[in-house]
Chains A and B, each alone.
Chain A
Amino acid sequence: MILNDDIELIDGLPAIFVNSLNAIVIADPHLGYEGVMAAKGMLIPKVNLKHIIKILEECISKTGASRIIVDGDIKNEFSTVELEEFNELKEFLEFIRGKSIEPILIKGNHDNFVERYKEAFKLKVYRQQAELGRYLFFHGEQQPAAKKSEFLIMGHEHPAIAVFNKAGKKEKLRCFLYGKFEKKGLLVMPAINYFAAGTEINMYPKDALLSPIFEKVDVDRMEAIAIGYGSTMSFGKIGKLRKL
C-alpha cells in the first residue's frame, strides 16, 4: 500500500520501504525473546528470528533496499545481553550483511547494553533518535525532538486493533497508526516480533497507552492501517473503531 510519495507499506508485512533513503524500516524485533522467556520457565519454541528473516527476505526482494533501519528494541532483555540474544543478534546481522545491506539501529528501551557490542558488530547505533533525510526515527519511550524533520517514525507501542465479525467473534490485527504530530507526519510501526501480537488500541483508554507521545497526540484521530491475510488496509480512525 502506498502511504505517500515516499513511503510504501509493504503489503501484508509489518515493514515499510522509504524510497528517498532506499531503506526498509522495521520495529521491535525483540531478538532472543524465546531464550529470555525460557530462562523464566516458558519453554516456547524458537521461531522469532526465522520469522523475521523470512519477512526481511521478502522485503528485500520486493524493494532492493540497501539499508535496514531497526526502529528500536532489537533485543528483548532490559539490563543485560543474554547469550541467546547475543547469538541471535549475530545471526541477524550476518544475514543482513550477507545481503550487502547496511543495518542501522535506533536504540530502544530494551537496548541499554547493545552499545557494548557496537564495536564487535561494527554496528551503527543511534541513541534514542536519528534524523535521516526528511525523517526522524525514534523508538517512542521518550518525547521526540524533531528539528528539521518533516515526518516521524516510531515503534514501542506494538499497536493492533480489535475488530468483531457479525457473529461477535473478536479478531486482533497488528496495525500501523498514521496521523499528525505538531503538524508533522507521524507513523507508528507495528512490532515485527512473532510473539508481540500487540495492544488493542481501540479497546484501550487513551491514558493507558505506553508512549508519552500520546499525551500530545490524540490517538483517536490517527488512522489504523491493519495488516493481515497477506494485505495491508486502512480501517479508518481509531475513534471510529472504538464505537464498533
Chain B
Amino acid sequence: MIQQLEQPFTDEQSLAELNPYVRKWFLDNFKELTPPQKYSFKLISEKKNLLIAAPTGSGKTMSAFLSIISRLFDLSLKGELEDRVYCIYISPLKALNNDIYKNLTTPLEEIYQTIVKEKGVDIIKSNIKKVSIAVRTGDTPQSERRKQLIHPPNIFVTTPESLAIILNSEKFLKNLEGLEYVIIDELHELANNKRGVHLSLSAERLLHFCGKEFVRIGLGATLHPIEEAARFLVGYNGDKERDCIVVDASWSKEIDVTVMSPVKDLIYTSGEEIENSMYLEIDRIIKKSKTALIFTNTRSGTERVVFNLKKRFAYGEGIAAHHGSLSKDSRLEVEELLKKGSLKCAVSSTSLELGIDIGSIDNVIQLGSAKSVTRAVQRFGRAGHSFKEVARGEDIVLTRDDLVECTVMMHSAKNKQLDSFTIPKNALDVLAQHIVGMSLADKWDVDDAFALVRNAYPYRSLEKRDFMKLLDYLAGNYVGLESRRVYAKIWYDEKEKTFGKRGRFTKVIYMLNLGTIPDEVAVNVFSTSKKWIGNIEEEFLSRLKQGDIFTLGGRLYKFEYARGTKCYVSEARATAPTIPPWFSEQLPLSYELALEIGRFREKFGNEVKRSIGRFVKGKALQQGVPEKVNAFLGNFPIDENAKDALFGYFAEQLLFAKCMPNDHLIVVESTAEEDSDSRHLIFHSLFGRRVNDALSRIFAMLLGEMLDIDVAILVNDNGFVLSTEENVELNKGVVDDMMSDIITANIVNMLKRNIKKTELMRRRFRHVAARSFMILRNYKGYKITVGRQQVNSQLVMKAAEEIDPDFPIIKEAYREIFEDVMDLERTKEIIANMAKGRVKYKFIKTPSPSPFSHSMITFGHADVVLMKERQEYLKTLHNLVMEKIGARK
C-alpha cells in the first residue's frame, strides 16, 4: 500500500533512533533537522520503503543516509561489520555520484575518529571497522574496480548502467548477497524515461538474486503524481503492491519569482531595443546578486548570452557557460568555481537544473519559458541554498506567447500545481536487454521470468504474447536455422517453456551494448570549400532540399548536398530562411500547463472583453490597461510591462477575431497570407505539442484525402497550421466534415500510415533496434558508427515488417512515438470529448492571420535573441491586424 505521511516525528523521536556517535556528529554539525529528515530518520531505521520529495538544499542526502550509516556503525561497534555491500546508492548523474562520495567520506571519517578517540586500542581488539564507501561508474578505472572486488565497500555508489553490468558480473555480485538498502536519487529524472524503466527491471533482478527484500528509498525534487512515483520505486511482489511511505516536502522552500517583459510593447519595439533592455535587466540582476544562474533552454542560446554579457558589460572570467556540448572538464571547472563562490554568473541550457552541488545561488533568471511548472520550480529552486531561504528569481520573456505561458506557469507554481510525468510502459527494447541479461545469469522458466518482469511497475500490464514474441526474436527465430548461431542471443525451448543463454559472444555483446541512451547523429555542416561550420540534427537534414536556406549559429546558409552524415552548404545572400529552424531542441509544453493556459485565456479573455466592450474598435487599446483588468492581473506574479503587453495581446485578438480559443473550444481559422499562394487552416488547440503533434497529422491526412491535395504541417504548443499551395476553398463545410470524420476515424492506423516513411520513424526504429541488440553499437571490439547504424534503417524496417507486422522492434518504435514523443492517450481523450460535445470548435474566416496565430505562422520558434527577419515579418502581420481593428500605430 502507498501511504502518504503528513505528520512528522519529533526531533527527539528521530534522534533517538541514531547510534550515539552518529547522533553526536549530527548535532555537532547541524542545528536542527530539515523537513525530510523529520520523517526519514525514524522510518528508515524501521526499515520502511520510503519516497521523499524535497527541494535541493533540504538535507535530502543525509535524510536518506544517516539512519543507514547509524546502523552500519552499530554493526561496526559490535565487531560485526563485514566486508560486503549493505547499501547501494544509484543516481543518473556521474557528477552527483562524485558529490555524494565526497559528502559522505568526511562524516564517515569524523564519526570513526570520535570512536577511535574514545575506544583507543579496543578498536583492534573488538574489530571496530571503518564504514567504507566507493563509487563505480563508467569512468571508474580498472584498478579501482579490482580493489572494490577484493575489498567491497559497505556503501556502493553507482549509476543505473553500471548496476546493470554488475548484475552480470558473478564475482562482484556475491558481495551484494546480504544487501539491505537501495537508494535511488533524482527519481524525477528517471521515472519518465527508459533509463528509469531499465533500472526498475534491474531492481527486480537484484532482488531475485538477493532472495530477500531490501529497503527501497527514493529521492526526488518534484514528483507528481507522487503515488505513481512510489509505485515505480517499489513495484510489486506477485499480486501485492509493495508498501511504501510517501513524504512530500517539496514545497518546504518558498519561491518568489516575477515574470517580466523587458519592454512595454513586444511587437513594435525593435529587436535591438528588446535585446538591449533584456541585457540591461540581466546585468542589473547579476550586479545585485552574489551569484546568479541563468537558464536559456538551448545550447546555442547559452553561448549567445555569455558572449553578449561579456561583450556588453566586461564581465571577463566572472561569467561562464555550462551545457551538454561542452567537454566534461570545462563543465567540472564551472561547477567547482560555483561551489567556491568565485563566479558572478553561470549560464546553462538545462544541465545545471539537476541536483549537483553548485554552492550558493541567490538569483535564478529564466529566459523565455521553462515549458513546465515542474521544471520551473526545479530551476528556480536552485536559488537560496538552504531550505529556509526563499528562492528568488526572474522570468524574462521575449514574446507574447511566452508571456502568457510564464504568467500562468508561475501562477501555478505559486498554487503548487505541478504537471505530471509519465512512465514509459511495457518498453520492449529495454525488456529485450534484460531478458538477455537474465539468461546470461541463469536458465529460466518462462513463467517465472514473466512474473519477475511484471513485478516492475513499468511492466505491470505487459502481455504474455509480447513477452513470447521477444523470446522468439532473441532466439533468432526470424532467420533460418543455419544463421542462428550469429543471430540468436538466447535459446528457447518451446516444449519445456525454458530459456537460457546462447552464443559465445553474447556476454561480451551484452556488456558492451547495454543501456538506453541512443547514439545521436550530429550531422556536420561544411562550406563547399570543406570548412567546418557546425552541427545540425539528422532529422533536420532530412527536411532540407537543394537551395533551402536555413540558419546556423545566427547566420544564413544555402543547402547544397549531403553525403552520409556530412552536409555541404554555401553562404546565402538571402535575407530570410526558407525553412523553419528546427525546434526539437525545444522542450514541449506540458499538457496540464496547456490546459491551464486555456483556462486563463477564457477567464482573462472575459475580463478584457468586458472592459473593451464599450469602446469603438481600436480605441480601447489607446486607453492603457483598464482598472479591472489591472486588478485581475494583480493576482499574477508579473511586472507592469507584462501587464501592458498581456492586455494588448488579448484585446487585439478579441477585436480582430471576436472569439477566444480555450481549453474546451478549438478555434479553426481559415486564412491566407498577402503576396503568397499559401492558404492556411490554423487550429488554435491548446493541448500542448505532444497532443498537437498527433492531432495535426490526423487532420492533415483527413484534409489531404478529402480534397486530394498535399498538406504541409507546422506544429507548436498553442496549435498547428495546415497549409496548401493548391487553389482550394478551405471553408466551413470542409472543417465541419473534418470534425465529423475525426470522431469515427481509426486514428492509430492513420498515424501509423502517416509516420511510416518519416525520418522520425527511421530514427526511433534505429534507436530501438540498437537497444534491442539488433543493430549493435559495439561489436567484437569495433565501434559501429551511427552513420553505419542508420544504413537503410527504413529498408531494414520494411524487411522486419514483412516477416511480422508486429515484430517487437517495430512495435516498440511505434509505441515510443505514440506514447513518448506524441501523447496518443490524451489525443484519443480529446477526440472522445469532441464526440461528447465537451470540446467544441468554432470556424472563423480572417483576412489575415489573427494575433494568436502569428507565432505559429512565423515558425513557432523564438530563441533567446529574436531573429530580425522574423520580427519584421511579425510586424507586417501585426500591421494587418491593427488596420482591421482600426488601431493602426
Residue ranges of A at the interface with B (Cβ–Cβ < 8 Å):
34-35, 38-47, 84, 87, 162, 164-171, 194-197, 203-205, 208, 242, 244
A44 cross-chain contacts in B, Cβ below 8 A:
774-775, 796, 799-800
Question: Contact mask B771-807 → A, CB, 8 Å, 1/0?
Answer: 0011111111010100011011011100110110000
Closest partner residue, chain A, to B478 (CB atom): A45
Return B312 CB to nearest CB of chain A, in Å: 39
B562 cross-chain contacts in A, Cβ below 8 A:
203
Closest partner residue, chain B, to A38 (CB atom): B486
Return B757 CB to nearest CB of chain A, in Å: 8
What separation, in Å, do the CA atoms of A194 and B797 have in the docked complex? 12
Asked whether, in the complex, the Cβ of A167 is within 8 Å of the Cβ of B710, the reply is yes
What separation, in Å, do the CA atoms of A194 and B487 have in the docked complex? 20
From B712, B726, B773, B775, A168 is in contact (CB under 8 Å) with B712
From A164, A169, A171, A194, B795 is in contact (CB under 8 Å) with A194
Question: Contact mask B502-544 → A, CB, 8 Å, 1/0?
Answer: 0000000100000000000000000000000000000000110
Asked whether, in the complex, the Cβ of B483 is within 8 Å of the Cβ of A47, the reply is no
| Size of B's binding interface in residues, CB under 8 A | 46
Return A29 CB to nearest CB of chain B, in Å: 15
B795 cross-chain contacts in A, Cβ below 8 A:
194-195, 197
From B483, B543, B545, B796, A84 is in contact (CB under 8 Å) with B483
Asked whether, in the complex, the Cβ of A43 is within 8 Å of the Cβ of B794, the reply is no
Asked whether, in the complex, the Cβ of B483 is within 8 Å of the Cβ of A46, the reply is yes
What separation, in Å, do the CA atoms of A166 and B728 have in the docked complex? 14
Asked whether, in the complex, the Cβ of A45 is within 8 Å of the Cβ of B800, the reply is yes
- Quick check: is B676 within 8 A (CB to CB) of the other chain? no
B 535-559 contacts with A by CB, 8 A: 542-543, 545-546
Asked whether, in the complex, the Cβ of A166 is within 8 Å of the Cβ of B784, the reply is no
Closest partner residue, chain B, to A41 (CB atom): B779
Asked whether, in the complex, the Cβ of B542 is within 8 Å of the Cβ of A170, the reply is yes
Using A42-B791, A168-B712, A195-B795 as known contacts, say yes or no to A203 and B546 having CB atoms under 8 A apart.
yes
Asked whether, in the complex, the Cβ of B712 is within 8 Å of the Cβ of A43, the reply is no
B 761-776 contacts with A by CB, 8 A: 773-776
Closest partner residue, chain B, to A39 (CB atom): B486
Asked whether, in the complex, the Cβ of B799 is within 8 Å of the Cβ of A194, the reply is yes
Residue ranges of B at the interface with A (Cβ–Cβ < 8 Å):
478-480, 482-483, 486-487, 509, 542-543, 545-546, 560-563, 709-713, 724-726, 757, 773-780, 782, 784, 788-789, 791-792, 794-796, 799-800, 802-803
From B561, B713, B796, A205 is in contact (CB under 8 Å) with B561
Asked whether, in the complex, the Cβ of A170 is within 8 Å of the Cβ of B784, the reply is no
**Chain A binding surface SS class:** loop
Return A39 CB to nearest CB of chain B, in Å: 7
Return B476 CB to nearest CB of chain A, in Å: 8
22 of the cross-chain contacts (CB-CB < 8 Å) are A38-B487, A39-B486, A40-B784, A41-B780, A41-B782, A42-B775, A43-B487, A43-B775, A44-B774, A44-B799, A47-B802, A47-B803, A87-B482, A162-B545, A166-B710, A166-B726, A170-B545, A194-B799, A195-B791, A195-B792, A205-B560, A205-B561
Return A127 CB to nearest CB of chain B, in Å: 30
Asked whether, in the complex, the Cβ of A42 is within 8 Å of the Cβ of B794, the reply is no
Asked whether, in the complex, the Cβ of A203 is within 8 Å of the Cβ of B561, the reply is yes
What separation, in Å, do the CA atoms of A38 and B563 have in the docked complex? 24
Return A57 CB to nearest CB of chain B, in Å: 16
B713 cross-chain contacts in A, Cβ below 8 A:
167
Return B876 CB to nearest CB of chain A, in Å: 23
A41 cross-chain contacts in B, Cβ below 8 A:
509, 775-780, 782, 784
Using A203-B562, A204-B563 as known contacts, say yes or no to A38 and B775 having CB atoms under 8 A apart.
no
From A38, A42, A45, B803 is in contact (CB under 8 Å) with A45
| Most B Cβ at <10 Å: residue of A34, A41, A164 | A41
The 9 closest A-B pairs by CB, nearest first: A41-B779, A41-B776, A166-B710, A167-B710, A167-B712, A47-B799, A45-B799, A38-B486, A44-B796
Asked whether, in the complex, the Cβ of A38 is within 8 Å of the Cβ of B478, the reply is no
Asked whether, in the complex, the Cβ of B543 is within 8 Å of the Cβ of A43, the reply is no
Asked whether, in the complex, the Cβ of A208 is within 8 Å of the Cβ of B486, the reply is no
Using A87-B482, A167-B711, A203-B562 as known contacts, say yes or no to A45 and B784 having CB atoms under 8 A apart.
no
Asked whether, in the complex, the Cβ of B710 is within 8 Å of the Cβ of A208, the reply is no
What separation, in Å, do the CA atoms of A203 and B479 have in the docked complex? 36
Closest partner residue, chain A, to B784 (CB atom): A41
* 11 other A-B residue contacts (CB within 8 Å) besides A34-B479, A197-B792, A208-B563: A41-B784, A44-B775, A45-B799, A46-B479, A162-B545, A164-B545, A168-B712, A170-B545, A171-B757, A194-B795, A196-B792
Return B394 CB to nearest CB of chain A, in Å: 40
B710 cross-chain contacts in A, Cβ below 8 A:
165-167, 169
A168 cross-chain contacts in B, Cβ below 8 A:
543, 545, 712
What separation, in Å, do the CA atoms of A203 and B545 have in the docked complex? 8
From B542, B546, B563, B782, A242 is in contact (CB under 8 Å) with B546
| Most A Cβ at <10 Å: residue of B483, B542, B789, B803 | B483
B725 cross-chain contacts in A, Cβ below 8 A:
166
Return B693 CB to nearest CB of chain A, in Å: 16
A244 cross-chain contacts in B, Cβ below 8 A:
545
